[in-house]
Amino acid sequence: MTRGSFLFLAAFLASGVEMVEALTIVLAVGVTREWRSTLIGAGVAAVALAILVAALGPAIAAVPIDVLRIIVGTLLLVFGLQWLRKAILRAAGYKPLHDEAAIYAQERAEARAAASEQRATLDWYSFTVSFKGVFLEGVEVVFIVITFGAAQDHGVAIAAAAAAAALVLVAAVGATVREPLSRVPENTLKFAVGLLLTTFGTFWSGEGAGVSWPGEDIALLAILALLMITSLAAVRVLRRERYLASLASPPKGAGA
């Protein structure tokens, strides 16, 4: 139950965040250029992602479960720590926050400036930008679904259901509002996803290495709590350091 719920939540949030980013690109190109080529580009990308899942799924199923857990755990841990690191740096002010409205405006400006080129009755710019945006963001979703799914029974079904739920939600909201979902607290979601990926990565890579976790699945909660406390403390410490550094080096011209 614990693993299944965590898995669904992590896959839903991670997929949702990536889909919000893909939606921004699709909306910007569709609104600025034309919808037909943009939607065909997004659709072809979705088919390419499905082929990727179909190709990787059976290959992964052939790997023994302990070997798989150590590989999947290692990848999730590396991936989760990257997400967490970025989210902490953004929350502490060391990296700018991901601004969907600004990205949308920039994508629209680029789409307006791009030359018009017709290929196979498609506006090639709309098709390629939409395809690239959906495919690259989708690769992360596929990666998460497959890695989560591979390491536990019925995992692929749970993770795929979570990704599908996120897709329906983001697509429905996007089609309704027809503008980037800039009110989605992206960094908070990325923070949560980073915590969940790192938690699962620690747990599964440990199991793959032969560790017996005390309390079995309950250990997931303990690892999550440890990472959450550490991450929140890191944000506080880094914010304070940044504040103290700003006091020590006043803006240019001050005191002259």
Partner 1 sequence: MRYLVAFLRFWYEFIVGDDWIIAAGVVGVIALTALIVDRGFTAWWVLPPAVVALLAASLRRATR
Binding site for partner 1 (CB under 8 A): 70, 73-75, 77-79, 81-82, 84-86, 88-89, 92, 94, 139-140, 143, 198, 201-202, 205-206, 208-214, 219, 222-223, 226-227, 230-231, 234, 238, 241
As measured in angstroms, the least distance from the Cβ of 34 to partner 1 is: 29
The residues facing 118 across adjacent strands are: 123
Shortest gap between Cβ of 177 and partner 1 (angstroms)?
A: 30
Closer by beta carbon to partner 1, 124 or else 143: 143
129, burial (CB in 10 Å: exposed 0-12, middle 13-18, buried 19+):
buried
CB of residue 61 to partner 1, shortest distance in Å: 21
Nearer to partner 1, 92 or 158 (CB): 92
Number of H helices and E strands in the chain, helices first, is 8, 2
Residue number with CB closer to partner 1 (58 or 215): 215
In order, the DSSP letters of 83-112 are: HHHHHHHHHTTSS----HHHHHHHHHHHHH
Which of 248/254 has CB closer to partner 1?
A: 248
Least CB distance to partner 1 at residue 178 (A): 31
**Do 207 and 69 touch, CB atoms closer than 8 A?**
yes
DSSP secondary structure string for all residues of 169-192: HHHHHHHHH-S--TTS-HHHHHHH
